[in-house]
A and B are shown apart, each in its own frame.
Chain A
Amino acid sequence: QFQPSLCLTEISPLAQTLAAAMAAATSPAVAFSGATAAAMPKPARHPLPRHQPVSRRALPARVVRCCAASPAATSAAPPATALRPWGPSEPRKGADILVEALERCGIVDVFAYPGGASMEIHQALTRSPVITNHLFRHEQGEAFAASGVPRRMIGTDAFQETPIVEVTRSITKHNYLVLDVEDIPRVIQEAFFLASSGRPGPVLVDIPKDIQQQMAVPVWDTPMSLPGYIARLPKPPSTESLEQVLRLVGESRRPILYVGGGCAASGEELRRFVELTGIPVTTTLMGLGNFPSDDPLSLRMLGMHGTVYANYAVDKADLLLAFGVRFDDRVTGKIEAFASRSKIVHIDIDPAEIGKNKQPHVSICADVKLALQGLNDLLNGSKAQQGLDFGPWHKELDQQKREFPLGFKTFGEAIPPQYAIQVLDELTKGEAIIATGVGQHQMWAAQYYTYKRPRQWLSSSGLGAMGFGLPAAAGAAVANPGVTVVDIDGDGSFLMNIQELALIRIENLPVKVMILNNQHLGMVVQWEDRFYKANRAHTYLGNPENESEIYPDFVTIAKGFNVPAVRVTKKSEVTAAIKKMLETPGPYLLDIIVPHQEHVLPMIPSGGAFKDMIMEGDGRTS
């Protein structure tokens, strides 16, 4: 199960702090304006073998309900303490009400960045016996200003006033502008509920400064008021529709499971379903890890940079089971040619996604976890399961796997980036949590590392935000103590949020940064090579006056942050270097120099079909 994470930010909460929040929980972030904080409920005390944090309370499966539903928040408010010298019915500041509301939602960790407008909230945080703050080093985006202006000044273009609610409207699931301090308990409750129910999404709460300072007595059991939304939440799937799906499975010869981010909470059920039916599985970039990549039935990733056999399978299949996916253009390419031979079954919790890009033959608008449970129950009970035999299909796909495996060439002592990731995979036994930036390194990390469980892979997929890697890794490390977290980054992406080295050092988080440094903006260079006759247009990130020296010198910079760092340039040194990185406790930076002529393969150009797949070539052949 996932926990929602909370971002409180004075300026834009997006990108960076949301990255950490999302990474920590890979779940919806509830963002507050007024102070920066990304928060998540603390996992159980003992280090967990799996990285999924376990809630301390018996909350309903995935939805966080605060206050009323949680037994830890007793109906009688806590008595006055030294830190909080007010009794249950005495007034306290809006900022304190906010912090107490967060505690009642089970928030224990917060990423907050203080500022003039959010000082109230930060002061209130120091009075919280439960919540720990992790201080990031950057307010993403200088253009964004604090939104903590006093309420009566909203709309007056006051100093640092930004209509943050308006600005973020198109990128949040919902947002709130709190105009009355009495609303805070209800709004927080609703915010968490919205963020974690239905199709999860970020929720932003904007609290003006004077509301933070206003005194009031909170009423904790104010009920939520979301009638339309709750009425529209999808119901559990009906048995008839599930039986229809199983009928189609029984009739098919070459079925395939196309699994995406929507299945992040359904790893168990999905594995059981595959066990019962023997249907091969391919995942999207968002869905990596939802089905273990080392399973013989896994076809790894599909799409623009997916494996040959995964794209082949989808092309030749006669039944496409699309669970928790949105038929994104990076996956489908030319939409008419995608899965053109198959019947399509689409199960998704968001009714707007069904039929948006590709019309399914059978669709179920429901939580895919419940759908899979239902399917598994039906399969367990019936004899239909015994009739399922996809042997010839498996053989066909195995042959494709043998003929077209993922591969790369080695040139002397130069380190192939794919090799570095393979070595990491071997040495961590595929158990580490991997976060990435955006670009070639992201694609190679997706292709060459084995992901065995949901939420092991953290990446900015559809949004494609460079600089995601380090903050995401930091967030994941906070939420999963004791688990190794590796940020596989590129030199371009890493530079964008390099200051978070301070966070990982001060908090002593076991985040290993592995930079695949090719001195260029790799993915753009690849497209320049392929489609623009290798004309370099501002894609060189090194020092043009001295191209032979590595610039910037990440090792020296890391030492400046007191993070141990090493550079490796020869293939023979890689294994030892990565081993040392994993064995050193705490933060570590490994700068791996790789050639920039490498291309991510295979590749289906955008708008292309399976037949357009490119499997050969790199920047060395002109």
Chain B
Amino acid sequence: MFVANVFRAKVVDISENSLTLEVTGDPGKIVAAQRNLRKFGIEEICRTGKIALRREKIGAAARFWGFSAASYPDLVEASRKNPLTSVNKTVNGSFDQSSSAGGDVYPVEPYESLSMNQVLDAHWGVLDDEDSNGLRSHTLSILVNDCPGVLNIITGVFARRGYSIQSLAVGPAEKEGISRITTVVPGTDESIEKLVQQLYKLIDVHKVDDLTDLPFAERELMVIKVSGNTAARREILDIGNIFRAECVDLSDHTVTLQLTGDLDKMVALQRLLEPYGICEVARTGRAALIRESRVDSKYLRGYSLPL
């Protein structure tokens, strides 16, 4: 626990014989944490890759300087509409061209249908409960040999057999020379079963686990750059505090927050920050390990966020 505190790691699951920790940081910190925890005996590791956002320059030369004047409460003449209502419109799917000059919240193309997911929507379409076809998002954890091209081979199997990948996280696992690929794939129980069989045909695959029906701890890391001048900054940081997000970069017109958590937490934070104008988001895929405690926190929490 002392070691965990030093690295500001959080305990995610606890059982008789094991502890599951979540550590976020730059790759150097991760390596250091791993080395220090090794003496206790590491059972399983699930790592995502590295994500990065450029630190914002100060001043008018910066990339997102004129980005969302609507969020600047003192720049009233730039948009006559209440910034929140204009944002609600885009959230609901209709794009109002007339408010584009400076009122354009997202750097995305306008889209037609309501049913289409927003590009920057935190919720990337994961299906927790089965829909009418029995389709569900399955979380697969695959252990593979760490050699060049292995990710290509794995995703090749998905592509050839017609499965889509909703999210992907790859990183070294607990053994030397082995990587863990964690991916979320929509499918019925039967089709995922067949996919697992196809994956087992690959020489470089060691193990494939479908975590969906087991209690598992899942985390994602998100780094999100929100535009906000000094006036809006206080509120943004407050929201961040509530979510235990950390501020990792600051400029005169943006705030960059880092948040770790499960999907619902990501979605919630992103929704709350939308009014301020989201400049950039970088997210890893879902990293998941089975809960040794067998406690399913999903059920304990209640229902997930309504869409």
Chain A positions near chain B (C-beta within 8 angstroms): 165-166, 169-170, 173-174, 177, 194, 226-229, 232, 350-352, 355-356
Contacts and interface: CB of A to CB of B under 8 A. Distances in A.
Contacts of B174: none
B197 A174 contact: no
Nearest to A356: B194
Given A166-B152, A229-B203, 4 more contacts: A169-B152, A170-B156, A174-B202, A228-B145
A352 B200 contact: yes
Nearest to A227: B206
B205 interface: yes
A228 B206 contact: yes
Nearest to B159: A170
Contact of A170 (B145, B160, B200): B160
B194 A174 contact: no
Contacts of A232: 200
Contacts of A350: 201
B300 to A, nearest CB: 36
A350 B149 CA distance: 24
A232 B145 CA distance: 15
Given A165-B149, A170-B156, A352 B203 contact: no
B153 A169 contact: yes
A336 to B, nearest CB: 16
B198 interface: yes
B197 A351 contact: yes
Of A166, A173, A229, which is in contact with the most chain B CB atoms at under 10 Å from its CB?
Answer: A229
Nearest to A225: B145
Contacts of B206: 227-228
B198 A174 contact: no
Nearest to A359: B190
A352 B201 contact: yes
A212 B188 CA distance: 48
B204 A169 contact: no
B194 A352 contact: yes
Contacts of A355: 194
Contacts of B160: 170
Contacts of B198: 352
Contacts of A229: 203
Interface of B: 145, 149, 152-153, 156, 160, 194, 197-198, 200-207
23 contacts: A165-B149, A166-B149, A166-B152, A169-B152, A169-B156, A170-B156, A174-B203, A194-B203, A226-B203, A227-B206, A228-B145, A228-B203, A228-B204, A228-B206, A228-B207, A350-B201, A351-B197, A351-B200, A352-B194, A352-B198, A352-B200, A355-B194, A356-B197
Nearest to A190: B203
Contacts of B149: 165-166, 177
Contacts, number: 34
Contacts of A352: 194, 197-198, 200-201
Nearest to B177: A225
A229 B204 CA distance: 8
Nearest to B145: A228
5 nearest CB pairs, A to B: A352-B197, A228-B206, A174-B203, A229-B203, A352-B198
B194 A228 contact: no
A227 to B, nearest CB: 7
Contacts of B145: 228
Contact of B205 (A169, A194, A228): A228
A159 B198 CA distance: 36
A180 to B, nearest CB: 12
A356 B195 CA distance: 10
B14 to A, nearest CB: 31
Nearest to A232: B200
A350 B198 CA distance: 10
A169 B148 CA distance: 13
B190 to A, nearest CB: 9
A166 B156 CA distance: 10
Contacts of A166: 149, 152
Nearest to B195: A352
A166 B200 CA distance: 20
A173 B153 CA distance: 11
Contacts of A194: 203
A356 B161 CA distance: 12
Contacts of B156: 169-170
A166 B204 CA distance: 15
A577 to B, nearest CB: 47
B189 to A, nearest CB: 13
A169 B145 CA distance: 16
Nearest to A228: B206
A228 B202 CA distance: 9
A228 B143 CA distance: 10
Nearest to B207: A228
A302 B207 CA distance: 38
A226 B203 CA distance: 7
Nearest to B157: A170
Of B149, B156, B201, B206, which is in contact with the most chain A CB atoms at under 10 Å from its CB?
Answer: B201
A350 B152 CA distance: 23
A164 to B, nearest CB: 13
Contacts of B152: 166, 169
Nearest to B148: A177
Contacts of B203: 173-174, 194, 226, 228-229
Contacts of B205: 228
A166 B160 CA distance: 14
A82 B160 CA distance: 51
Contacts of A351: 197, 200
Contacts of B194: 352, 355-356
Contacts of B204: 228
A71 B194 CA distance: 42
B150 to A, nearest CB: 11
A484 to B, nearest CB: 38
Contacts of A227: 206
Contacts of A165: 149
B106 to A, nearest CB: 37
Nearest to B178: A228
Contacts of B200: 232, 351-352
B168 to A, nearest CB: 19
B281 to A, nearest CB: 31
A298 to B, nearest CB: 32
Nearest to B160: A170
A226 B204 CA distance: 8
A352 B160 CA distance: 15
Contacts of A356: 194, 197
B236 to A, nearest CB: 44
Contacts of A228: 145, 203-207
A350 B205 CA distance: 15
A609 B198 CA distance: 29
A77 to B, nearest CB: 29
A108 to B, nearest CB: 27
B148 to A, nearest CB: 8
B307 to A, nearest CB: 35
Contacts of B202: 174
B12 to A, nearest CB: 28
Contacts of B201: 350, 352
A331 B200 CA distance: 26
A166 B201 CA distance: 18
A352 B203 CA distance: 14
A29 B156 CA distance: 22
A396 B258 CA distance: 75
A166 B205 CA distance: 18
A286 B247 CA distance: 64
A585 B121 CA distance: 76
Nearest to B144: A228
B173 to A, nearest CB: 13
Of B156, B197, B204, which is in contact with the most chain A CB atoms at under 10 Å from its CB?
Answer: B197
A4 to B, nearest CB: 16
A416 to B, nearest CB: 42
A352 B191 CA distance: 12
A169 B149 CA distance: 10
Contacts of B153: 169
